[in-house]
Amino acid sequence: MDLSNVVIAVVILACIVMVLLATRYTTDQKGFDEMQLKKRGDAFRIGFFTLLACVLLMLFLNSLDSFAEKVTVDFMLIASIMITACVFGVYSIWKDAFFRMNENPKTYLGICFAVVFPNAIVLIGELKQHGTLLKDGKVTFTPCGNLLNVVTFTIIAITIIIKMIVNRREEKE
């Protein structure tokens, strides 16, 4: 059995467990007010349809021989998950539905940077060592997955920062 397939399976399983835990936790709905719950519902719906669209696009692209030769399925799968997470995160942060009431967004900023830096180091190391992120001319789960992590969490961090500035301005008004 290919070791990369085991890694992919573990990552997907971890994602499912995280979603289940998050869903279980959020069913308590503690700390969210009524508007936030409504917006979170919208965010989950948009995230669901984004994932559906990504998977359909992935199936279509994978059927094209020219594309399938250059990009592996495991990368496309993780890309779909990351795009979905990004859409959910950005939408709910922008609609003030991501953080619980009185929760400090700076904590999440710290988490974002804690994810971005190690992944960025891996990317830089890979580029220094091989001069490319491709493996045998293909876009693969590693190290291109690291690039996805960096992009996703940077977008989320930037959204948090912009939203904090907007909220501060509103509070002053």
- Judged by CB under 8 A, which stretch of 33-41, 45-53, 75-83, 120-128 contacts another protein? 33-41
Between 37 and 66, how does the x/- string for binding to another protein read (CB under 8 A)? Answer: -x----------------------------
Instruction: Please identify, among the stretches 31-39, 49-57, 60-68, 80-88, the one whose residues bind another protein according to the rule CB under 8 A.
Output: 31-39
Rounded CA-CA distance 125/60 in Å is 33
C-alpha 158/C-alpha 173 separation (Å) is 23
Among 28, 65, 136, 171, binds another protein (CB under 8 A): 171
Number of residues that bind another protein (CB under 8 A): 10
Does 101 interact with another protein (rule: CB under 8 A)?
yes
Tell me the window of 35-43, 80-88, 113-121, 139-147 that interacts with another protein (CB under 8 A).
35-43
DSSP single-letter state for residue 120: H
- The encoded tokens of residue 26 equal 């959020």
Q: Does 33 participate in binding another protein (rule CB under 8 A)?
A: yes
Contact between 89 and 156 (Cβ < 8 Å)? yes
- 106: how many CB neighbours lie within 10 A of its CB? 11
Instruction: Verify binding: residue 35, another protein, rule CB under 8 A.
Output: yes
Angle at 83 between CA 80 and CA 86, to 5 degrees: 150
**Minimal distance, residue 97 CB to another protein, in Å:** 9
Minimal distance in Å, beta carbon 166 to another protein? 10
* Cα dist from 57 to 53, 79, 132, whole Å: 6, 11, 26
Strands (E), 17-63: none
Which residues in 67-96 contact another protein (CB under 8 A)?
A: 96
Are 143 and 133 contacting, i.e. CB atoms less than 8 angstroms apart? yes
Question: Which residues are near another protein by CB under 8 A?
Answer: 33-36, 38, 96, 101, 167, 170-171
